[in-house]
Copies of this chain bind each other. A is one copy, B any other.
Amino acid sequence: MNRSTPPAAVATAVHRVRAAYARIAQVDRPEVWIDLRPQAEAEADAATVDARLAAGARLPLAGTVFAVKGNIDVARLPTTAGCPSYAYHPEADAPAVARLKAAGAVLLGTTNMDQFATGLVGTRSPYGAVRNAVDPRYVSGGSSSGSAVAVALGIADLALGTDTAGSGRVPAAFNGIVGLKPTVGLVPTEGVVPACASLDCVTVFARTLPEAERALAHLVSPTGRALPSLPQRRPGPWRIAVPDAEQLGELDPGWADAFAAAAIRLADAGAQLLPVDPTPFVEAAAMLYEGAFVAERYAAVGAFLDAHAGSADLDPTVAGIIARAGGIPAHRLFADRARLDALRARALASLADADAMLLPTTPGHPTLADVAADPLGANARLGRFTNSTNLFDLAAVAVPAGEVRGLPFGVMLIGAAFTDRTLARIAALLTAPPLPLAVVG
């Protein structure tokens, strides 16, 4: 905020809400929403914000509007997790929702999602497949599909998502926006329908990194205090671990070049690039759905699915994944945990000298038709780089990094738990407007 600006004399929050509903009408993307609030309700909230602001209240997010993924509790709206028959009416906002409201942000509604947050595509919903913000022939990514598209289309300034396998990062990448996946535990997960309860995070989307960081500060603390301090590190330039594109498996055409360009941009900004073997990250990623960890999804909603087998509002792909997870034996979970611990030790050791690791957010971007033709395979491919982050207890920041054939290309910076601020500082090197050449060097 520019300190020379006088307190808003105009009704900032109300104007922002009106613009949001005008934009909703303009874009004609009804599948973005599960429950969009009536405009009058949102305007009334905004008028309250404007009045409090005029009275001198400190409301740092006043003038912003936000959307909330359908698996996060919002008082007076049903929590559906993308499944109408699962819906319940929460008594209170989830803490993450309450903290944004307390800072002056006005809620627009709840957004569409891959059912039970089980998917990275954005098509697994009885509320309709969420189309990509840039090219509607392509998927939006998921599971936080509606939240990401609402931000990308300029409807909302901020949106809450969740992230277990990559649901707060894949749709950021596909729609050209920022997605912050904070360290597990920084943002309360009370009032969130569990996917894998031990891995789930609340995430935030915004169009720019500073907006996302400001929102995250409020999500972490009701007072909006800063994120965890930058950790102690060896002085000198940022050190970024960057795998060779050949080690990343099959990427969509042009993606290896786009990834290399992002790495070069970091180097041009003064970062030191280090080699790293991504194998433990990719091997652990495959364990999230192919191993025993998926059984945690059955622990969360398996009893509901068993009681509603065959119901028309169940996504058949999601229901199949979770039903099969119910039959996985517990002894496999112990074996997988031991294997994961070994992979995690290798992964952390490989990052010991680095401040962060750079990865493409996904290996590629499928169309809606691609996903319809191979619902499981297309989805599994998308998690190759994101699925291991929460299994390894890491933090991640997903940011746009240019375009490939007219579609957004995105990268992630991932790092140890509680390096959230470090990752954002490094990501800022990628998202800042390029400096004039005369200034660089």
Contact = CB atoms under 8 A, between A and B. Distances in A.
Contact of A302 (B296, B298, B331): B331
Interface stretch (A227-235, A308-316, A332-340, A410-418): A332-340
Nearest to A298: B331
A197 B330 CA distance: 14
A264 B334 CA distance: 43
Contact of A329 (B328, B335, B338): B328
A172 B357 CA distance: 52
A299 interface: yes
Contacts of A270: none
Most chain-B Cβ atoms within 10 A of its Cβ — which of A198, A299, A337? A299
A74 interface: no
Interface in A316-330: 325-330
A326 B329 contact: yes
Q: How large is the interface on A (under 10, 10 to 19, 20 to 34, 35 or more residues)?
A: 20 to 34
A103 interface: no
A325 B334 CA distance: 12
Nearest to A337: B198
Most chain-B Cβ atoms within 10 A of its Cβ — which of A295, A331, A338? A331
A343 B197 CA distance: 18
Contacts of A198: 334, 337
B338 A295 contact: no
A394 interface: no
Interface in A281-315: 292, 295-296, 298-299, 302
B334 A197 contact: yes
B327 A329 contact: yes
Contact of A295 (B299, B302, B331): B331
A96 to B, nearest CB: 21
Interface of A: 197-198, 292, 295-296, 298-299, 302, 325-335, 337-338
